[in-house]
Every structure is written in C-alpha cells, then in structure tokens.
Structure 1
Amino acid sequence: MSYFYYQSQKIYYSEAGSGKPVLFLHGNTASSRMFEFLRPLYEEQFHVILMNFLGHGKSDRLEKFPPDLWMEEARQATALLEHLNLGRVSLAGTSGGAWVALNTALERPDLVEKVVADSFDGRTLAESFVQNLLQERTNAKQDEMGVGFYQWCQGADWERVVDLDTEALIRCAAEKLPLFSKPLRGLRVPLLLMGSEEDEMVREDFREEYRAIAAETGAEVILFPTGKHPAILSNAEQAAEIICRFLK
C-alpha cells in the first residue's frame, strides 16, 4: 500500500504497469476499487495510477464533504501528481471523477497531458439533479447489488460515506455552485468525452451538452449505443481500445 499526505491526512494510491502514466479518478460514492477489473486492459500499455479521494476507500475519513467537492478533489489529484513527480500525466475520470479530471487540467495544465471525461452531466447540473440523486441513493440502499458495491468500495462505514456525499451534492446544487474553477473554453489539453446512450444516471440532454463542450474545447466525443453507468465499465473493452488510442 502507498500513501501520501495532503493537509495532514493520508490519501491512498497504487501503481501498476509501465509506459506513459495515466491517473484514473473514481466517481462519487465509489473508490479506486471500481477500476480493479479494468486495470488489465490498460497496464500492459500504460503506467496505471489509482487513488482514493479523502473520505473514500482506504484514504482517511472526513467529518464532512465540501460542497465544491470536485474542485477539492482536483486539488487532491494535483497533490498526488506533484508527489509522484512524473511530469505530465493523462487523466481518466468517470462520473464525478470527470469533473475532477477537468478541474485538475484547468488549474494545472503543466501537469496534465490529456483528459478522458466519462459519463457526467457537463457544465451544469440538471434541474432535476437533486430529486434524481435522492431517488437513486434511496434505491441503491435498498438494493443488494447497490449495497454490495458500496461495501466493496468503502468498507463497513459505507452508509456514512454515501450520506456525506449526498449532503455535499445537495448543497452544491442548492447553492448553484460552479462545477469548474475556470471556463472550459480555457482548457489547454486534448479532451475525450465518453458516455452511453442508455445511461440512466446522467442528464437527459447530455448528448447536447457534450456537443456544446466539444464546440468550446475541440473535444472528441464517443457515445456507445448501449451500456449503463458509467461507460468505462459497461463498455469496458471498447472503451479501453478508444481510450488507449486517444492517450497514445
């Protein structure tokens, strides 16, 4: 196990494979364990780095998650990149991790080579975001597979982690906080946007949102016709082929 200190707290990370470095960033209520089954698809070609944001997985716990969660987690990702001192590293963020990856690149393009942003809402949260979030979390807590995923990622205190995350996201939406530290049109690194047409956890108009982001940034857009949330998992082999090509 590897840890580094960020603001006097321990953040867990792991490394595998060789080649160009790629940091994979997990989504909300998940941890780096979500990438364990994917790692074999990448580690023969890349130096794969995984991390657990504070409050998740094997990293130190928090009393409360900040409402600007994805900006704060970007600062944690930046701290890891500085700690590893590998030069410019590509980022692959999924769901909430997509916002983290983009914020990291916006703030520190000197540390980032390319960004993959998978299965997220885009520049703003939908009007129905809070309602959908509460329904999704309620359903997941009553579903054996949902609870199993939470336990697998977080451990015995999974419900507290989920509740803290839900509280932070509700505050983010209620206060209409910006999701990015800077306008996306200022992004200075290549971007790949990825998603699934059947994804039930992103906003209904995410396709239009992706096209608008691409118009601002010159991003490549890949949408799979099938697959659930997130695309990097539900379309694992196809997604890996596309991501590996993009990152090379």
Structure 2
Amino acid sequence: MSYFKFNDKKIYYRELGSGTPLLLLHGNTASSNMFEEVVSLYEANNKLILIDFLGHGKSDRLDKFPADLWFYEAQQVIAFLKEKNYKNVNLIGTSGGALVAINVALEAPQLVNKVIADSFEGETPLVEFVVNADVERAESKKDEDTKAFYAAMHGDDWNQVVDNDTNAIIEHAINIGKFFHKELSSLKPEILLTGSKKDEYVGAIDPEYFEKVYGLMITKIGHGNYYLFDAGGHPAMMSNPELFYQLSMDFFYKDE
C-alpha cells in the first residue's frame, strides 16, 4: 500500500492505469472503497488516482475532524498533487468530495484541468440535513445495510469515523456556514455539476433543488454547465455508473 505524509500523518492512495491523471474524491463517511465498482471503467482510459482523506479508510485517524472539513481535505489533495508533481489533473468529487474538488480548483487552479462536482448541496450547508444530523446518523448506525457500508469503508472503527463526521458537519454549520473560501467567480477550470433528479436527500426538500442551486452556481462562476440524470439516487455517479462514465469522458476529452 502507498502513503504520503500530510501534517505528519499518512494518507493512503492508489494509482492505476495510464494516461491523463484522474483523481476520484470520496464523500462524507465514505472512503475510496466506494469507487470499487467503477474502477475498471475509469482505469482503462485514465491514470486513475484514489485517496482516502485523513480519518477515513486506510489513512491515519484523527481524534476530531476540523469544522472546515472540506477545505482541510482540499489541502490534502493539493499537497498530494504537488508532492507527486501532477498537473492538469481531472477531478471527480461526489457528495462531500464535490465540495473538496471545487475547493481544490479555487485554491490551486494551476494543478487542475477540469472538474466534475457530483450530488452536493451547493455553496452552503443544507439546513434540513444539519438540524437532523445527530438523529439521522444515530438511526443510520442501527440499520444493518448502512452499518455494512460504514464497515466496508473504514473497518472496525467505523463508528468513531461517523461520529467525527457528524460533529464536523454540525460545527461547520454553526461556526462557518460556507464551503468555499474564495468567490465562485474566481474559479478557472472548466466545470460540470451533476446530480440525479431522484436524489433522496434533496428531492424531499424541493424536486427542482439541483436546477435552482446548480443554475445559480453556474451563473456565479460565469462558465460551465450542469447535467441531471432522470433516474438513480445519491450519488448520481454510483447510481448511474455507465451513463456517468460516458458523460465524464465526453466532458474531459471533448476537445481532443
């Protein structure tokens, strides 16, 4: 297994295939294991890179997650790309990983070629999720299928990982409230926002949630597009694997 150091802690990563580097960024309570079912698709035509953020998967654990979690994880990605001397990297971030991908593009555009940000709530936390986070996460830890997912992502200490994530989400919403440190208008790489019209997290709030939030973000950025799948749940990348793969390859390589 391969690791690199960030703030004296080890971050796990894998590199597969060859070609243009493509880094997949996992979401909250997940790890790079979430992408196992689609690895064979992407490694065929890309230099595929997978990492586990600190506190997740096979990376070193943290006693507590920082409240500015998605910016902190972006700093890990930037440090990794610089250490490995990667440039013109394509990024796909899904759910919380989408927030990380956008932060990377805002903070280190010189390292990034194009970005796909999939199935995320927008520029600010989703109030309806945050206010129920404690209760919903406690319930999730009783559900056998969800417990199996957590264990597959992290191993035997999954419970602490989930609790750390829940606490960070709540603390962020109370004390910070914005996911990005820079204005979206400063984002330089090409960007595509994706989601599913059947996303179970936002659909109950507003059936047109993504259209409204993504549309506003694209207006602020000043370039880019969004695409919504008619079917599939959260995240769209994993619930529409073949269609999402084709969409992503068309986006990344349309000019070549």
Q: Same fold (TM over 0.5)?
A: yes
Q: Which amino acid aligns with 1:209?
A: V
Within 5 A, what are the aligned runs for 1:46-65?
Answer: 46-65=46-65
**Residues 107-143 of structure 1, C-alpha deviation per residue, up to 9 Å, x if partnerless?**
0000011111000001112222313433432332121
> Percent same amino acid at aligned positions?
49
Aligned with 1:213 (options 187, 208, 217): 217
What secondary structure sits across from 2:43 in the alignment? coil
Look up the equivalent residue of 2:6 and give its one-letter code: Y
- The corresponding residue for 2:15 is 15
TM-score (norm 1): 0.97
Rounded to whole Å, the distance in 2 between the matches of 1:24 and 1:136 is 27
Which whole-Å deviations, capped at 9, do the CAs of 1:33-80 have from their partners, x for residues lacking one? 001111111111111000000000000000100000000000000011
Once the two structures are superposed, residues 8-49 of structure 1 have per-residue CA deviations (whole angstroms, 9 ceiling, x without a partner) of: 100000010111101000000000000111111111111100
Match in the other structure for 1:4: 4
Is 1:224 matched up with 2:229? Answer: yes
Quick check: 2:95–2:118 contact (8 Å CA) kept in 1? yes
Q: Is the 8 A contact 2:91 2:115 kept in 1?
A: yes
Aligned to 1:167: 167
1:54/1:60 contact within 8 Å kept:
yes
Aligned partners of 2:124 and 2:177 also within 8 Å: no
Q: Could you list the runs of 4 or more consecutive aligned residues of structure 1 that deviate by over 3 angstroms after TM superposition?
A: none
Aligned positions of 1:125-204 closer than 5 A: 125-202=125-202, 204=206
**Mapped partners of 1:135, 1:207: distance in 2:** 28
- Matched residue, 2:118: 118
Q: One-letter code of the match for 1:93? A: G
Q: Which runs of 5+ in 2 are unaligned?
A: none
Give the Cα separation in 1 of the matches to 2:216 and 2:139.
Answer: 32
Equivalent-residue separation in structure 1 for 2:216 and 2:229 (angstroms): 18
Query: Residues 185 and 220 of structure 2 are in contact (CA less than 8 Å); yes or no, is this contact kept in structure 1?
Result: yes
AA of the residue aligned to 2:129: F
- Name the Cα RMSD after superposition: 1.2
- In the alignment, does 2:251 pair up with 1:235? no
Distance, in Å, in 2 between the alignment partners of 1:85 and 1:9 is 20
State the alpha-carbon separation in 1 of the partners of residues 109 and 56 from structure 2.
26
Q: TM-score, with normalisation over the residues of structure 2?
A: 0.94
Q: How many angstroms does 1:244 deviate by?
A: 1.0
Q: Secondary structure at the match of 1:211?
A: helix
For 1:158-204, what per-residue CA distance to the aligned partner results, in whole angstroms no more than 9, with x for missing partners? 00000000001000111243210101111000001000011112363
Please, which moves more after superposition, 140-149 or 92-101?
A: 140-149
CA distance in 1, matches of 2:240, 2:107: 30
Output the CA distance in 2 between the equivalents of 1:137 and 1:179. Answer: 21
Give the counterpart letter for 1:195 in structure 2: G
1:114 aligns to what SS in structure 2? strand
| 2:77 alignment counterpart | 77
**Alpha-carbon distance in 1 for matches of 2:46, 2:186:** 27
Query: What is the CA–CA distance in structure 1 between the aligned matches of 2:52 and 2:83, rounded to whole Å?
Result: 15
* Alpha carbons of structure 1 residues 132 and 208: separation in structure 2 relative to 1, 3 Å: farther
